[in-house]
A = this chain, B = another copy of it.
């Protein structure tokens, strides 16, 4: 008996999602020093807090915490087989909050709740909104975020779901920002070792920073990364099938771009050691192997954190381009994005005061 359809997971179509449904995603994952080393090799992050146990311990961490975006990618990767295997596009993120640091040895798992559904006017697809929560082995939430994706329908003519579009915050408000880091023994925060003399108070709202350096991406690199995150989206791996696709080649996982841009931003934001919230993000255009990524940042806002005198928060717009340096901070041409822009990412970072 041949029954591919019953044993192989075809992924969910728009009709398969129910409002309020809770989804337990597969493959819990113990994060290790091996993952951290690979993350370093893939992007070249240089923040002392994540790089050095000694530096992190002196500040008050029990060990160097895992890079926030590595946590994000692992938590996100688990959702792909259930949420976005049949996705046409990843439309956006909101209300992302890092709630607790993750250390090597912690095991991450992810659950999602369907919080919104909206069929397209064409009737052949729909937008699925999910709130996903990553938890450690103690059941403690380490990351929570909302994303919405455009998912194909199995059959164009099935009736539409009752429509519900959730109200999402345009940005995580400073008043609810969680430090998600232990109280820092600031006397131990050595600017020379950290690589930057600029603390939280040295950045001004509307300041723009060109991160100068460029990083060219190879097929092997983004494939290694995306498999490390156990993200199974076919478009990243199958060059044979991609030949007949819109772009004719493999697409690079959008999260790879976020990590590249974040690592490049060390040059200018060296003390922005921790992402505490993701306000939103848009993958403006696809990245392909052979392209070179550049980045620049704008300080959108600056905020104190409730009850914390050790760290302050900067709301940052991180823009990545391809094959175009960012000394003039390219963003929009009129209503449209500059053709070089591939990422427009909005997040809160913590810096020592």
Mark A residues whose CB is within 8 Å of B.
Answer: 1-4, 7-10, 24-30, 32-38, 40-44, 46-48, 51-55, 64, 81, 104-105, 107, 109, 137, 190, 192-196, 198, 203-204, 206-216, 218-221, 223-228, 230, 232, 234, 237-241, 250, 267-270, 290, 292, 323, 325, 327, 329
Contacts and interface: CB of A to CB of B under 8 A. Distances in A.
A243 to B, nearest CB: 10
Given A218-B220, A237-B215, A26 B192 contact: yes
B36 A38 contact: no
A2 B211 contact: no
A8 B52 contact: no
Contacts of A230: 40, 44, 46, 51
Contacts of A33: 32-34, 104
Contact of A227 (B42, B81, B196, B198): B42
A190 B214 CA distance: 44
A345 B55 CA distance: 34
Given A27-B194, A46-B230, 16 more contacts: A2-B207, A4-B208, A4-B210, A8-B209, A8-B268, A26-B46, A26-B193, A27-B48, A27-B195, A28-B193, A34-B38, A37-B228, A40-B230, A216-B237, A216-B238, A241-B292
A41 B38 contact: yes
B224 A241 contact: no
A7 B209 contact: yes
Copies in the complex: 3
Nearest to A269: B7
A196 B26 CA distance: 8
Among A211, A226, A228, A239, the most chain B Cβ lie within 10 Å of the Cβ of A239
Contact of A209 (B4, B35, B215): B4
22 contacts: A4-B212, A7-B207, A8-B210, A8-B211, A8-B212, A9-B196, A26-B193, A30-B54, A33-B33, A34-B34, A35-B37, A38-B38, A38-B41, A41-B224, A41-B227, A42-B227, A51-B230, A81-B195, A215-B238, A216-B237, A240-B323, A240-B325
Given A1-B207, A267-B9, A26 B194 contact: yes
A290 B26 contact: no
Contact of A228 (B41, B234, B325): B41
Contacts of A206: 1
B4 A327 contact: yes
Given A224-B41, A230-B46, A240-B292, A268 B27 contact: no
Contact of A34 (B25, B32, B269): B32
A126 to B, nearest CB: 23
A237 B214 contact: yes
A25 B42 CA distance: 22
Contact of A52 (B27, B36, B215): B27
Contacts of A213: 232, 234, 237-238
A232 B215 CA distance: 10
Contacts of A234: 213-214
Contacts of A26: 46, 48, 192-196, 270
Contacts of A195: 26-27, 81
Nearest to A30: B53
A28 B268 CA distance: 18
